[in-house]
Chain A
Amino acid sequence: MTDTRKPSELRGLVGSRTRTLLAPRVTGQVRYTDDIHLPRMLWGRIVRSPHPHARIVRIDATRALAKPGVIAVITGKDMPERFGIIPWTPDEYPLALERARFIGDAVAAVAATDERIAHEAAELVDVEYEVLPAATDLQTAIDKPEVGLGKGGKDNVSKEVDLAFGDVDAALAESDVVITGDYYYEGSAHVPIETHCAIANLDKNGLLTVWSTTQVPHYLHRELSRVLRVSPTRIRVIQPPVGGAFGGKSEPFSLEFCAAKLAMITGRPVKFLYTREEEFYAHRGRHPMQIHMKVGAKRDGKLTSVDARTFIDGGAYSSFGLVTTYYSGQLLTLPAFADTYRFRSTRLFTNKPPCGPKRGHGSVQPRFAFEVSLDKISRALGIDPIELRRKNLVPPNTTTLNGLRVTSNGIEQCLDAVEKASGWKERFGKLPKGRGLGVATSAYISGTNYAIYPNAMPQSAVQLKVDRSGVVTVFSGQSEIGQGCDLMLAVLVADELGLDLGSVRVVSGDTDLTPVDLGAYSSRGTFMNGNACLMAAREIKSKLVAAVAEKLDVDPRSVLVTRGALVVVHDPSRGVPVTEAIQLAEAKFGTLGAVGHYNTPKLGGDYRGGTIGASPAYSFTAHVAEVSVDARSGIVRVEKIWVAHDCGKALCPVIVEGQMEGSAYMGAAEALLEEHVIGPDGLHKGPNLLDYRIPTSLDVPDLHALIVESEDQEGPLGAKESGEGPLHPSIPAIANAIFDAASVRIDRLPFSPARVLAALRKKQADEQAAAVESSLGGFAPRRGAAPPNPPAAE
């Protein structure tokens, strides 16, 4: 059953309209990593390469070490072990060993008695480089294999995926319309307000503790152990609350290794805090993608085929690139798709800050190309773009062309919701010139069954500790990065056990205290930790029920958990308060505690790479964007965005709405403003917040979040993801709205005033030329006739 009521009308779970646990965030009480100061703590600073590609000939730290206050300097030779988030592609050293591969690549690190001295000392480390030829854009990386950034040094290829489903050529040949387009998706950065920070401390018992702004404490734990050659039993990773991540903190970074190594060398705690500029070098932001895409359809709007050739600009290292390359094709087959499909994606290395996962990893870029193609098809066939999508929806409880198992699917309700809320039927195509509406849809994973390193252990686990005072503590390895996942677990436990929210505490992100969770990525948190948490909570619940049933002398099946008390179903006047129930259960069963875990069922297509993109459940989204295009300045303003998102079940509607709005905001920013651009010399064009433009509060469009609930059969109480999916349609919806407003297609991001203006002028010139041609009766100008006026040059 799908529910499209407004969030405020939904039957909320306990605390679902509150953000109690988030109050410390907005009142400045949260202690972030940088708020931690340890006695005798040193400050670290990384020395970075000024060349996009260079061999490191020699590093001389004499001058730095001579500076008063400088305690130690380390180089690549101190940690000659490669790491990488994907076990098959480790290609980074904590500090570059032989070659620096981008401007900003880490080559040495200093530790000093204060931050200022560390920064000054870093300038005194003398590094001799032999500058090498560089590739700072996709085309050079393609044209100049001799730059040799790939494995083996013979080309610049990072990963290639080539998959086909069905006979694409035949299907295209039989199509009534085939839309071919070239799309360019510009790179962008995550821009968390909190920059990367790490502190390491080696205590007298030989335990190395690392506090980090990571969103993957478990993977960091493993990699620290491997690279530092220290047993994992001697390492503890603590992840304090993180001030925004968006995927930019989902792998280990140089600073964690350097802090740990320097702490081990000096015997003193060491802190690193990246500056805003360094944040742009750490990067792992959205990959620039060059996409050539063909989409075919029959006259009735039935899609026949999709054929995509994609080049992905990976930057200097692999990062999650293997997955990115698959995601650039695999996640396109929902919600509306064709019968046949082929994609070939090549990720290339370039001498730029490494790209990685950003909210909507790998799939936001092809989604732009595809949804704009659909808009073009709808124009070519004269079919309403919402109708066109409706004709091609993949139904619930099916399997897609590429083998993705689909469970619940509320995309139809999403489309209905945005159609109605935006007044689409009355307004699309009918707005005054310069104003337009556009639609787009998408689907996204709720976690992936691809554990980053192969193993059969749970992907998420929790422990519950029940105190006889009535307090329940949830221990979870999950990463609270501002998305509210701690609150989510509290809500589930409180609801299950009849507690109020204030009686549930959540301890998360500490490898000594909490069972393993793989991390805050691929929108897996609510689905996986939620299910693990329910499993544990239900075990406790059955004990409470049994104890209460015994006390009241009734059948356990007639005991119901309500808010605050366990009561007899047919006689609610008979009941026991929850705290008392807990005490009865503790007396009956002994100390109360439970563990719960989650693992995905076996999923995915039966072919190489068929598990990448396979998820236990998919979320669905539809956007309608309303824009205005000023023909005189080329300035596009997004006036409104209606976002309908099927999150399965909104456990906490306020948070779901927040995620939807945050996603749409971030998408609109990528569409209109953000550009992570590196010049041909390898230099970042503006690694600061004045030149790298994220929208200010004044630039945020009017956002309308419409929650759709499809109640997934496998999600915790029916829930699916809501943190990444709602971003995807933003960009194509805006692009399509620009076409509705001004009849120009901008197939390249961002839709900047200069680009829009150039498109408007070209259109005007083309129309003039066409008018001249038709005034000549369709014939070429006769000999001697004046040639048509060229469009006025500027």
Chain B
Amino acid sequence: MSLADLPLHDMQRAASLDALCGIVAERHARGEATVLLAGGTDWVVEQELKPPRGDADPRPLVVDVSCMAELRGITATRGLLRIGAAATYLEIRRHPTVIERAPMLAAMARELGAIQIQARGTLGGNLATASPAADGVAALAAYDASIVVKSVRGERRIPFSALQTGYKQSTRAPDEVIVAVEIALPPEGSPWLWRKVGTRRAQAISKVALAGIAVRSEDRVVRLGLGMASVAPITATLLQTRALVLSRPLSAITADALDAAVLSDIAPIDDVRSTREYRKHAAKAVVRGFLRDLGAPV
């Protein structure tokens, strides 16, 4: 696309998170849209796909949040990892605590887009766009992360399981700003998997991606998180699959049962990146791969 296709917008920065919430709320009350611009790697691209607007159409106000202190930074305290909504993938993949304690998230960030996108893109943007192909969201699904949001009404935490309601729909209110995500860190050394099936090794939107994190005790998986991209209208949390694995010893899990559970959890489609059939196959194969690594005979 040419930047000339991007119509002129009013743009500003907010002095603080509270001020930002104020701006968003006020505009929302007047029926005016506000775009919080973090990396711009989704929003700018989307503008090209929009039908042309006449000169008279109101354009949203763009507020640059990429430098807002309250949305940045990565911290870990007492088993809780908090990642600012505007922290970039590059910051995530290079953060020592993330590398050590949430290696799956670091692996995801390393394979998302390529270095240019990683230097700008954020989890806040990934969550807000809410594409079913979003890699970051799949990883957060596996961690059963909480999404910290804030508005003039105050701050609240949305557990991942209560976030998504439909294709690009969520329980976050339109005037709620994503502040951070919080991950309850699994015990150190817990087995994990990030497996992205793309058409090339970088700059590929996933045909299928699986995020997995497990806590194992002898022949059983006692805690399991799974998130899968590009196989349903929303990020798949593979609840049937999780239930199956948690319900019996690893040695009692059969490939057929596992495949059946995966298929009941997903509803992929044909598109320019892959086919429905291939996605089904790939989804089963990557889940089997993870369970095989955990010791299931599949």
A residues with CB within 8 A of B: 43, 67, 114-116, 118-120, 123, 273, 275-277, 632-635, 673, 677, 685-686, 688-691, 693, 695-699, 752-754, 757, 794
Contact A115 B282 (CB under 8 A): no
Which one of B32-40, B185-193, B199-207 is at the A interface?
Answer: B199-207
Contact B277 A754 (CB under 8 A): yes
Query: Roughly how many angstroms separate A754 CA and B279 CA in the complex, as a whole number?
Result: 9
B1 at the interface (CB under 8 A from A): yes
7 example contacts (A-B, Cβ-Cβ < 8 A) are as follows A116-B4, A634-B278, A673-B199, A696-B202, A699-B201, A753-B199, A754-B274
Contact A119 B285 (CB under 8 A): no
Contact A698 B7 (CB under 8 A): no
Query: Roughly how many angstroms separate A686 CA and B203 CA in the complex, as a whole number?
Result: 14
Q: Which residues of A contact B272 (CB under 8 A)?
A: 677, 685-686, 691
Query: Roughly how many angstroms separate A635 CA and B197 CA in the complex, as a whole number?
Result: 9
Contact B199 A693 (CB under 8 A): yes
In the complex, besides A632-B289, A698-B202, 6 extra interface pairs with C-beta distance below 8 angstroms are A277-B1, A632-B285, A634-B278, A685-B272, A699-B202, A754-B277
Which 4 pairs from chain A and chain B are nearest by CB? A754-B278, A698-B201, A115-B4, A123-B52
In the complex, which residue of chain A has the Cβ closest to the Cβ of B1?
Answer: A275
Contact B197 A698 (CB under 8 A): no
Instruction: From B4, B7, B275, B278, name the one whose CB has the most chain A CB atoms within 10 angstroms.
Output: B4
Contact A673 B200 (CB under 8 A): yes
B218 at the interface (CB under 8 A from A): no
How distant is A226 from chain B, measured CB to nearest CB, in Å?
Answer: 30
B222 at the interface (CB under 8 A from A): no
B273 at the interface (CB under 8 A from A): yes
Query: Roughly how many angstroms separate A119 CA and B47 CA in the complex, as a whole number?
Result: 14
In the complex, which residue of chain A has the Cβ closest to the Cβ of B201?
Answer: A698
Count residues of chain B with CB under 8 A from any CB of chain A.
30
How distant is B46 from chain A, measured CB to nearest CB, in Å?
Answer: 12
Q: Which residues of B contact A685 (CB under 8 A)?
A: 272
Q: Which residues of B contact A275 (CB under 8 A)?
A: 1-2, 5
Contact B200 A699 (CB under 8 A): yes
Query: Roughly how many angstroms separate A126 CA and B212 CA in the complex, as a whole number?
Result: 53
How distant is A217 from chain B, measured CB to nearest CB, in Å?
Answer: 25
How distant is B261 from chain A, measured CB to nearest CB, in Å?
Answer: 15
In the complex, which residue of chain B has the Cβ closest to the Cβ of A684?
Answer: B272
Q: Which residues of A contact B52 (CB under 8 A)?
A: 120, 123
Q: Which residues of B contact A699 (CB under 8 A)?
A: 200-202
How distant is B199 from chain A, measured CB to nearest CB, in Å?
Answer: 5
Query: Roughly how many angstroms separate A277 CA and B289 CA in the complex, as a whole number?
Result: 39
Q: Which residues of A contact B248 (CB under 8 A)?
A: none
Query: Roughly how many angstroms separate A276 CA and B45 CA in the complex, as a whole number?
Result: 13
Contact B2 A119 (CB under 8 A): yes
Contact A696 B4 (CB under 8 A): no
Contact of A757 among B2, B5, B204, B278 (CB under 8 A): B278
Query: Roughly how many angstroms separate A635 CA and B199 CA in the complex, as a whole number?
Result: 9
Known: A673-B199, A696-B114, A698-B202. A633 touches B273 (CB 8 A): no
Q: Which residues of B contact A691 (CB under 8 A)?
A: 205, 272-273
In the complex, which residue of chain A has the Cβ closest to the Cβ of B51?
Answer: A123
Query: Roughly how many angstroms separate A123 CA and B54 CA in the complex, as a whole number?
Result: 9
Query: Roughly how many angstroms separate A693 CA and B203 CA in the complex, as a whole number?
Result: 9
How distant is B21 from chain A, measured CB to nearest CB, in Å?
Answer: 32
B10 at the interface (CB under 8 A from A): no
In the complex, which residue of chain B has the Cβ closest to the Cβ of A694?
Answer: B200
Contact A120 B201 (CB under 8 A): no
Q: Which residues of A contact B5 (CB under 8 A)?
A: 119, 275
Q: Which residues of B contact A632 (CB under 8 A)?
A: 285, 289
How distant is A64 from chain B, measured CB to nearest CB, in Å?
Answer: 12
Q: Which residues of A contact B274 (CB under 8 A)?
A: 753-754
How distant is A188 from chain B, measured CB to nearest CB, in Å?
Answer: 14
Query: Roughly how many angstroms separate A545 CA and B253 CA in the complex, as a whole number?
Result: 88
